[in-house]
Amino acid sequence: MSSDKERERVENALVRVHHVAHWLDEAFEIPVIRRRIGFDPIIGLIPTAGDWLTWVPSVYILLEGMRLKLPVSMLGQMAFNIGIDLLVGVVPLIGDLADFGIKANRKNADLMLRHCRAKIDEGKLRFTGDPTTRETSSALTRWTATAFLITCLAALVAIPIALIAWLLSALR
C-alpha cells in the first residue's frame, strides 16, 4: 500500500475523531459566559444513563487510537481521561456541573493528533487496516490492553453504583 493511501486513512481517522470530540465537548457556545459545551454535559444530565450514553463515543475515540497503534501508555492516559469524565459525571449535581469543564474527548483527540502528526512526519505511522504491516503480537497486545482498560473503566463506575445501591437497600 502506498504511503499516500496510508496517510489518507490516518488523516480520515483523525478527522472522524475530531468530529466526535467536537460534538461531545464543544459543539455549542453559551452566549452569556462564552463557554463551549457539547452533548456530553447535556446528555449527562439524564441520571445514570446519560453518562453511559456519552461513554460509548468516548470509547470509540479510544478504539481509534488503538487502530492507529498509539503506545499503550498513551491509550492508558486516554482511558484515564475517559474514566475521570465518567466517574465524576455520575455524581449527582456536582458531577453534572464538573462535566461542563471536563473535556476528556477533546484532550484525547488532541493527544492522538499530536502523536499521529509526529509519526506521519517521521514516516513511521502505519494503519492496522493494511495487512502487509500487521504485527500480530503487537496488535494482540494493543487489543488486550485496550479491552483491559475498557473493563477497568466500566468497573470504576459499576462498583460505586453497586455499593450505593446496596447501601440504599440496606437502609430500607
pLDDT single digits (tens) 33-67: 888 888 888 888 877 777 788 888 899 999 999 88
Summarised one tens digit per residue, pLDDT across range 75-132 is: 989 999 998 888 888 787 787 778 778 889 999 999 998 888 777 667 665 544 443 3
Q: Report yes or no: 78 and 110 within 8 Å, Cβ to Cβ.
A: no
Number of domains, the chain: 1
The answer to pTM > 0.85 is no
How far is C-alpha 71 from the chain's CA centre?
15
Strand, helix or coil for residue 124? coil
The C-alpha atoms of residue 126 and residue 76 are separated, in whole angstroms, by 20
Q: Which residue, among 10, 28, 4, 1, has the nearest Cα to 127 in the 3D structure?
A: 10
- Which three cell numbers mark 65? 487510537
pLDDT recorded at residue 35: 84
| Long-range contacts of residues 86-95, Cβ cutoff 8 Å, at least 24 apart | 86/51, 86/52, 86/55, 86/58, 86/153, 86/156, 86/157, 87/156, 87/157, 87/160, 89/40, 89/44, 89/50, 89/51, 89/54, 90/48, 90/51, 90/157, 90/160, 90/161, 92/47, 95/44, 95/51
Range of the domain at 8: 3-171
